[in-house]
Amino acid sequence: MKRLVTALALVLCAAHPALAEKVAAPIPIGIAVGQTSNVALFGQEQVNGAKIAEERINAAGGVNGVKIALVFQDTAGDEAGAVNAFQNLLNRDKVVAIIGPTLSQQAFAANPIADRAKTPVVGPSNTAKGVPEIGEYIGRISAPMTQVAPYSVKQAMKIKPDLKRVAVLYAQNDAFSSSETVTFQEAVKDLGLDTVTVQKFQTTDTDFTTQVTAVLGANADLVIISGLAADSGNLVKQLRQLGYKGLIVGGNGLNSPNMFPVCGALCADILVAQAYSPATVDKNPVNKEFVTAFEAAYKKSPAQFSAQAYTAVQVVTEALAKIEKETGKKIADFELAELRTLLNTSLRTGSYLTPIGEISIQPSGEVSQKDFYVSRIVMNPDGKTGSFVLVSE
């Protein structure tokens, strides 16, 4: 008899899964970012930004009096780690949405799982082409590099008007870097510059003698690097140590202060296009509050990965609040499956004033953002710390 009752209960749950899955309180929001492996330099920044958002949002009352609870899962640096993190957040932690993963390559592997589960994903740092097209429930607040990358090349041309010869280097085993380099190469061509060599490397490489020799042999005026923080930092260091004296433009993977200890004083003067700058505090009150809170907590200024993670948490929370306002129904009274669907729609309506400026998520899942920046890395006398100094808006 006991077996019969258990079997019947399982059948009923299978037939009506939503009945057994009410939304938990505090409201669980998944954070799937890389906290270990070669991605940790980015993922830790994202964790820091997300935690500031959680603290500030809950201090302000959460979602109409109900707190949010960020559920962190480490994706590490590969696709398998991201898939595992997404599955845990969806099936065990019953989150209303997932913010992540860190890398675009991981997004192509893990996002389809959330899309099939009809759970919204907000990518905080996925800038490769094709990410929003993965599915109906996939969106991002990180602008694609097709929009951002050309700014840094144009700034290099302002600094060196006679610039003509460009060397392009990229991590061929990383989907984001492979996508980003195409954008850079198209920008180089459109701006009338010559690509004199294209060199590939792996994100796990530590010896870049072959690539640097090719750059020096091609007599390049500008080097453009698309990679992650550790490999790119080592590549920059070896370029300078072996005699390259020209300009360096870094892609989004170099957009992290955690790269500074890797290339040290040799990080100086790299140009990086950015979707965020802490220097906009006078124009953006939300950014001012974020920067103040971040500096108080971590004793340093936030960089782009932290700001985008904060923004993703803020956007999800505000979209949840809109659902309550529009339906007159408390979040805790929704069935999980229903709320996930409503949240996906809510995320794509209206605009949000965030640390990265005023943004919106289009019906396609793509972000709409109007303000971008170019910064130059300035290293401190200790040769280990530094900052991104705004050079243009």
Model pLDDT for residues 30-89, shown as the tens digit of each residue:
999 999 998 999 999 999 999 999 999 999 999 999 999 999 999 999 999 999 999 999
Contact 281, 295 (CB under 8 A): no
Check residue 149 and give its pLDDT.
87
Which residue, among 66, 108, 63, 69, has the nearest Cα to 86 in the 3D structure? 108
Structure tokens at 24: 């938990």
pLDDT at 117 over 90: yes
Helices 40-59 and 285-298: crossing angle, nearest 10°?
110
CA 65 to chain centre: 29
Contact 43, 102 (CB under 8 A): yes
CA distance 323 to 385: 43
Check residue 145 and give its pLDDT.
85
Structure tokens at 53: 């958002």
Helices 104-116 and 79-87: crossing angle, nearest 10°?
30
Give pLDDT tens digits for 309-347.
Answer: 999 999 999 999 999 999 999 999 999 999 999 999 999
CA distance 71 to 131: 23
Scan for tokens 């590490």, then name that residue.
Answer: 76
Q: What is the DSSP string of 198-235?
A: EEEE-TT----HHHHHHHHHTT-SEEEEES-HHHHHHH
CA distance 324 to 329: 5
